[in-house]
């Protein structure tokens, strides 16, 4: 049939949609099945349904290369699967770089890069990292250190939201990460900013109350449940449609869009990621395991619609 | 000659509820509150519920009597406005001009677009399909030479209908339709029409225009024009974001001030509840007063940004009393608020008393969201004939 579609025609764009991490015990049984054989592997199962994952464990520890090699093996069945690796906190939060750390981190990155499994490097700075000369110099230094990888930089301080900062990102071919988070205080509303031919979008959920609570208990020792409560949020169909339309409005400006769902508690991130695959990639049918359909009956729509 | 499309989302609230919960498909669904808790009205009902005689604006208790096995839900208003915005975004990709008339209605001006889109009927069906495929929302479209005829067109073939009223055929198209098909003819006017033997739109056009002007004033002339298929051809194109929240009520001519006070108080409650639902504060209050001879006047006043029933009501009542100078019965009163700002996070900006009231009102909003608007009502105490104060605790219905 003749198509009247004007705006979105000829847009060839690669979507990488996944979650922040795959190893969550509370994804059983909403994503990983309850009955698991001895051979059952979570990453292998995950990679069957998604084409990317963000690795957050690399932020806390310099992993053994054996672990990273293990990942590569586990996703060997899935041709297009990639890992986005989060840079260690020594670089972003403590801002102490020594040759040893660089070497250790690069070693693991190269394992993935050589196997063509590396998506990019996520460099996430804390709120206490405002836009100024020394900050841009520091980012430039990191960019030079990791020059052969795609760099996605997440800055959270609102001072970064200005034209000079965006120009800095553009000049250095850095991707400015877009984040969606609860709208509290001076939080920046979800609006993709494009600084090169890639977009990297992270969704933290919109759980306002738990987010406020977590600010008050900052620095206290907390259980996994307490820590992750602020990410407990299932985006509603209307919110997802809003997100879809915003992302599609930038798709003529970029070649790749990476979407990472970090609202991980109990599998909400997985359910929303399936919904976004349906909306963004315009797939008539999304392949999903029975477990998620049982936990989130509204996903059944994605099978028929 | 203009080409106006009117797109109306079929049973919009119900369609969205079915996206949120697919198990509601094919079942009689009623949005508008829980019959156990409230005396609210039906905001929307599914076509399966309409079979039982249900329709919007029907008291929820009546609906429950007719359809006790229906599924009654209070509604997810934030979600409705998200979907509504999404529809508008899609329409704006195709239409040179879009006017959003309400949360589920859009006018589009496609004048001169035939060369771009070919057959308008086929194009309308494409638009309908696009909204269905992208958002799972069914809609009906009316195409006509002005807004009124396009709207009547979209109404007459629901759901999933497309009606194209060919230019020049407007009067013939309308003649056999019941008078209530004309937008703006409500229950009270309808009763009045029936008492005069006017049942079909064709009955209006048989009468002289002077008669309508004498009986219904400016409103009557407007109705008369609509019956001939005339109407506004131009869309209001400023960026629609909800500009005001208002409620009005028509009566069979009223003279009691006490009655008006109570009605205005109720309408204020509804307006302020919606304000709080949106997390907005309003800094302008306006009222509308229509006398039984259809003379209508409006008044407005700036106030300190608020979402509090008390402040809004006091301003509105004062304006209404100053405006109500004639010794003529009242036919309609309305209240609205506008000039919105977002509810600020920093509560320190407010006095302690205000903070306390604010917290109380937030709690009221929450309870109403859960149990329906009528679950918790404000009371009013009469101090003297000119002033009123609201009191706590509220009348709590269980």
State the nearest Cα–Cα gap between A8 and chain B, in angstroms.
Answer: 10
Asked if residue B30 and residue B141 are part of one domain, the reply reads: yes
Q: Do A237 and B79 touch (CB under 8 A)?
A: yes
Mean pLDDT, residues B11-22 taken together: 93
Q: Are A272 and A264 in contact (CB under 8 A)?
A: no
Reading the block at residue A303, the tokens are 């099978």
Range of the domain at B329: 244-396
- Nearest beta carbon to residue B93 from set A7, A184, A297: A7
Per DSSP, the residues of A225-266 read HHHHGGG-----HHHHHHHHHHHHTTTTT-SEEEEEE---GG
Instruction: Round to whole Å and give the CA distance between A161 and A165.
Output: 7
* CA separation, residue B317 to residues B118, B243, B310, B334 (Å): 54, 22, 10, 11
The answer, yes or no, to whether the previous bond of A29 is cis (omega within 30 of 0) is yes
Percent of chain A with pLDDT over 90: 73
Residue B59: DSSP 8-state:
B
Residues of chain B with C-beta less than 8 angstroms from the C-beta of A242: 82, 85-86
State the nearest Cα–Cα gap between A298 and chain B, in angstroms.
Answer: 6
B184, B202, B227 — which closes off a domain? B227
Q: Is B263 contained in some domain?
A: yes
Nearest CA in chain A to B83: A238
Mean pLDDT, residues B176-203 taken together: 90
Instruction: Give contacts of B 323-352 with A, CB under 8 A.
Output: 345
Q: Which of B361, B392, B374, B378 is nearest to B74 (CA)?
A: B374
| B274 among known catalytic residues | no
B97-156: pLDDT as tens digits: 898 888 899 999 998 887 888 888 999 999 999 999 999 999 999 999 999 999 999 998
- Nearest beta carbon to residue B345 from set A184, A300, A305: A184
With both helix axes pointing from N to C terminus, report the angle between B120-135 and B77-94 in degrees, rounded to the nearest 10: 140
B312-370: pLDDT as tens digits: 999 999 999 999 988 888 989 999 998 887 665 444 445 666 667 777 887 887 777 66
State the nearest Cα–Cα gap between B21 and chain A, in angstroms.
Answer: 6
Q: Do A4 and B117 touch (CB under 8 A)?
A: yes
Asked if residue B82 and residue B123 are part of one domain, the reply reads: yes
Domain tally for chain B? 3
pLDDT of residue B362: 78
Q: Are A184 and A212 in contact (CB under 8 A)?
A: yes
Q: Residue B39: pLDDT band by 50, 70, 90 thresholds?
A: low
Cα first-last separation, chain A: 19
Q: Do A301 and B21 touch (CB under 8 A)?
A: no
- Nearest beta carbon to residue A245 from set B76, B80, B89: B89
Q: Are B74 and B31 in contact (CB under 8 A)?
A: yes
Q: Is B237 contained in some domain?
A: no
Asked if residue B303 and residue B392 are part of one domain, the reply reads: yes
Residue B243 has pLDDT above 80, yes or no: no
Q: Residue B239: pLDDT band by 50, 70, 90 thresholds?
A: low
A48-106: pLDDT as tens digits: 999 999 999 999 999 999 999 999 999 999 999 999 999 999 999 998 888 999 999 99
Instruction: Round to whole Å and give the CA distance between B343 and B12.
Output: 28
- Nearest beta carbon to residue A238 from set B82, B123, B345: B82
Asked if residue B257 and residue B370 are part of one domain, the reply reads: yes
Residues of chain B with C-beta less than 8 angstroms from the C-beta of A7: 93
Q: For chain A, what is the largest distance between any 2 Cα atoms, rounded to a whole number of angstroms?
A: 61
Asked if residue B131 and residue B73 are part of one domain, the reply reads: yes
Count of A–B CB contacts within 8 Å? 48
Percent of chain B with pLDDT over 70: 87
Residues of chain B with C-beta less than 8 angstroms from the C-beta of A276: none
Asked if residue B159 and residue B190 are part of one domain, the reply reads: no
Ranking A122-126, A224-228, B264-268 by mean pLDDT, the lowest is: A224-228
Q: Residue B394: pLDDT band by 50, 70, 90 thresholds?
A: very low
pLDDT of residue B371: 67
State the nearest Cα–Cα gap between A243 and chain B, in angstroms.
Answer: 10
Residue B396 has pLDDT above 60, yes or no: no
Q: Which of B127, B162, B136 is nearest to B15 (CA)?
A: B136
3-state secondary structure at position B111:
coil
Reading the block at residue A11, the tokens are 């847009």
CATH number (domain holding residue B88):
3.30.70.270
Nearest CA in chain A to B84: A238
Query: Taking an 8 Å Cβ-Cβ cutoff, which residues of chain A contact chain B?
Result: 2, 4-7, 184-185, 236-239, 241-242, 245, 297-298, 300-301, 305
CA A101 to chain CA centroid, nearest Å: 23
Catalytic residue among B48, B79, B105, B248: B105
Instruction: Round to whole Å and give the CA distance between B176 and A10.
Output: 48
Q: Do B123 and A245 touch (CB under 8 A)?
A: no
Q: What b/e string do you get for A132-149 counting C-beta neighbours within 10 Å, with b at 16 or more?
A: eeebbebbeebbeebeeb
Nearest CA in chain B to A245: B86
Nearest CA in chain B to A184: B345
Nearest CA in chain A to B130: A5
Q: Where are the alpha helices (DSSP H) in chain A?
A: 42-49, 57-60, 65-74, 89-92, 99-114, 133-145, 163-171, 208-216, 224-228, 237-248, 268-280, 290-295, 301-304
Asked if residue B155 and residue B6 are part of one domain, the reply reads: yes
Q: Is B14 contained in some domain?
A: yes
State the nearest Cα–Cα gap between A204 and chain B, in angstroms.
Answer: 19
Residue B299 has pLDDT above 50, yes or no: yes
pLDDT of residue A100: 92
pLDDT of residue A222: 76
pLDDT of residue B231: 85
Domain residue spans in chain A? 14-304
Asked if residue B201 and residue B130 are part of one domain, the reply reads: no
Asked if residue B292 and residue B208 are part of one domain, the reply reads: no
> Which residue bears the tokens 């977002």?
B342
Asked if residue B152 and residue B27 are part of one domain, the reply reads: yes
CATH number (domain holding residue B282):
3.30.1490.100
pLDDT of residue A260: 98
pLDDT of residue A9: 43
Residue B159 has pLDDT above 60, yes or no: yes
Q: Do B345 and A185 touch (CB under 8 A)?
A: yes
Q: Where are the alpha helices (DSSP H) in B157-291?
A: 170-174, 187-195, 201-206, 209-227, 257-278
Nearest CA in chain B to A240: B82
Mean pLDDT, residues B69-80 taken together: 89
A233-256: pLDDT as tens digits: 999 999 999 999 999 999 889 999
Average pLDDT, chain B: 85
CATH number (domain holding residue B198):
1.10.150.20
ipTM of the complex: 0.75
Q: Do A298 and B22 touch (CB under 8 A)?
A: yes
A197-236: pLDDT as tens digits: 999 999 999 998 888 888 777 667 777 778 889 999 999 9
With both helix axes pointing from N to C terminus, report the angle between A237-248 and B12-20 in degrees, rounded to the nearest 10: 90
Residues of chain B with C-beta less than 8 angstroms from the C-beta of A305: 136
Residues of chain A with C-beta less than 8 angstroms from the C-beta of B85: 242
Q: Do B82 and A242 touch (CB under 8 A)?
A: yes
Nearest CA in chain A to B78: A238
Instruction: Round to whole Å and give the CA distance between B106 and B87.
Output: 9
Taken in order B83, B88, B90, B91, the sign of the CA dihedral is positive
Q: Do B19 and A300 touch (CB under 8 A)?
A: no
Residues of chain A with C-beta less than 8 angstroms from the C-beta of B345: 184-185
pLDDT of residue B292: 85
Q: Are B186 and B207 in contact (CB under 8 A)?
A: no
Q: Which of B17, B41, B40, B39 is nearest to B28 (CA)?
A: B17
Q: Is B234 contained in some domain?
A: no
The answer, yes or no, to whether the previous bond of B236 is cis (omega within 30 of 0) is no
CATH 3.20.20.410 correct for A14-304: yes
Mean pLDDT, residues A124-138 taken together: 92
Residue B31: DSSP 8-state:
E
Which CB contacts under 8 angstroms, 24+ apart, belong to B126-135?
Answer: B126/A4, B127/B5, B127/B7, B127/B91, B127/B94, B128/B160, B128/B162, B130/A4, B130/B90, B131/B7, B131/B9, B131/B87, B131/B90, B134/B86, B134/B90, B135/A241, B135/B83, B135/B86, B135/B87, B135/B90
Instruction: Round to whole Å and give the CA distance between B221 and B210.
Output: 8
With both helix axes pointing from N to C terminus, report the angle between A268-280 and A237-248 in degrees, rounded to the nearest 10: 50
Asked if residue B37 and residue B52 are part of one domain, the reply reads: yes
B180, B197, B227 — which closes off a domain? B227
- CB of B135 within 8 Å of a chain A CB? The answer is yes
Residues of chain A with C-beta less than 8 angstroms from the C-beta of B136: 301, 305
Q: Do A297 and B23 touch (CB under 8 A)?
A: yes
Q: Residue B8: pLDDT band by 50, 70, 90 thresholds?
A: very high
pLDDT of residue A150: 95
pLDDT of residue A228: 86
Residues of chain A with C-beta less than 8 angstroms from the C-beta of B118: 2
State the nearest Cα–Cα gap between B369 and chain A, in angstroms.
Answer: 17
Residues of chain B with C-beta less than 8 angstroms from the C-beta of A275: none
Average pLDDT, chain A: 90
Model pTM?
A: 0.75
Asked if residue B274 and residue B329 are part of one domain, the reply reads: yes
**C-alpha angle A125/A130/A134, rounded to 5°?**
95
């Amino acid at each position: 049939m003749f198509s009247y579609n004007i705006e979105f025609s000829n847009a060839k764009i690669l979507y990488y949609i996944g979650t922040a991490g795959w190893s969550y015990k509370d994804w059983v049984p909403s994503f990983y099945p309850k009955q698991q054989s001895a051979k059952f592997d979570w990453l292998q199962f995950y990679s069957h349904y998604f084409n990317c994952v963000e690795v957050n464990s690399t932020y806390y520890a310099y992993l053994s290369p054996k672990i990273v090699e293990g990942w590569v093996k586990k996703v060997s069945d899935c041709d297009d699967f990639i890992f986005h690796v989060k840079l260690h906190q020594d670089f972003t939060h403590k801002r102490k770089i020594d040759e040893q750390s660089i070497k250790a981190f690069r070693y693991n990155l190269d394992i993935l890069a050589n196997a063509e499994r590396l998506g990019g490097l996520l460099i996430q700075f804390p709120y206490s990292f405002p836009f100024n000369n020394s900050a841009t110099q520091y980012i430039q230094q990191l960019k030079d250190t990791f020059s052969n990888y795609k760099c996605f930089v997440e800055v959270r301080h609102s001072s970064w939201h200005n034209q000079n900062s965006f120009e800095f990102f553009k000049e250095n071919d850095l991707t400015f990460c877009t984040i969606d988070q609860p709208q509290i205080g001076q939080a920046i509303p979800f609006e993709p900013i494009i600084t090169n031919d890639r977009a990297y979008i992270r969704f933290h959920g919109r759980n306002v109350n738990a987010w406020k609570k977590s600010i008050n208990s900052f620095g206290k020792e907390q259980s996994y449940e307490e820590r992750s409560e602020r990410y407990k949020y299932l985006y509603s169909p209307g919110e997802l449609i809003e997100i879809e339309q915003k992302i599609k409005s930038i798709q003529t400006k970029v070649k790749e869009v990476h979407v990472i769902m970090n609202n991980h508690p109990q599998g909400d991130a997985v359910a929303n990621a399936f919904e976004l695959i349906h909306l963004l990639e315009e797939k008539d049918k999304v392949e999903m395991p029975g477990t998620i359909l049982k936990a989130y009956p509204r996903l059944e729509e994605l099978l028929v619609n | 000659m203009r080409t106006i499309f009117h797109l109306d989302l079929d049973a919009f609230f119900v369609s969205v509820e079915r996206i949120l919960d697919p198990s509601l498909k094919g079942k009689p669904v009623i949005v508008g509150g829980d019959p156990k808790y409230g005396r609210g009205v039906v905001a929307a009902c599914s076509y399966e519920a309409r079979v039982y005689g249900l329709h919007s604006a029907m008291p929820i208790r009546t609906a429950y009597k007719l359809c006790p096995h229906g599924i009654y839900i209070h509604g997810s208003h934030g979600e409705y406005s998200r979907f509504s915005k999404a529809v508008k975004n899609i329409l704006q990709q195709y239409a040179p001009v879009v006017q959003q008339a309400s949360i589920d209605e859009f006018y589009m001006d496609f004048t001169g677009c035939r060369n771009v889109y070919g057959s308008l009927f086929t194009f309308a069906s494409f638009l309908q399909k696009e909204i269905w495929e992208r958002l799972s929302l069914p809609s009906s479209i009316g195409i006509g030479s002005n807004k009124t005829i396009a709207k009547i067109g979209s109404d007459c073939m629901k759901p999933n209908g497309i009606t194209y009223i060919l230019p020049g055929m407007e009067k013939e198209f309308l003649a056999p339709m019941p008078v209530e098909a004309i937008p703006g003819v409500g229950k009270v006017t309808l009763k009045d029409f029936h008492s005069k033997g006017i049942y079909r739109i064709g009955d209006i056009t048989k009468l002289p225009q002077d008669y309508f002007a004498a009986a219904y004033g400016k409103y009557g002339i407007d109705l008369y024009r609509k019956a001939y298929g005339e109407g506004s051809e131009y869309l209001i194109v400023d960026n629609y974001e909800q500009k005001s929240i208002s409620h009005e009520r028509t009566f069979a001519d009223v003279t009691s001030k006490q009655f008006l006070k109570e009605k205005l108080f109720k309408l204020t409650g509804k307006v302020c509840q919606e304000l709080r639902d949106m997390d907005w504060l309003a800094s302008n209050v306006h009222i509308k007063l229509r006398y039984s001879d259809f003379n209508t006047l409006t008044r407005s006043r700036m106030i300190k940004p608020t979402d509090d029933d008390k402040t809004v009501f006091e301003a509105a009542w004062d304006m209404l009393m100053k405006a109500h100078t004639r010794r003529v019965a009242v036919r309609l009163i309305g209240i609205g608020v506008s000039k919105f700002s977002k509810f600020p996070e920093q509560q320190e900006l407010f006095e302690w008393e205000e903070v306390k009231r604010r917290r109380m009102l937030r709690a009221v909003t929450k309870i109403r969201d859960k149990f329906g608007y009528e679950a918790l009502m404000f009371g009013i105490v009469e101090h003297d004939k000119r002033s009123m104060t609201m009191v706590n605790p509220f009348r709590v219905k269980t």
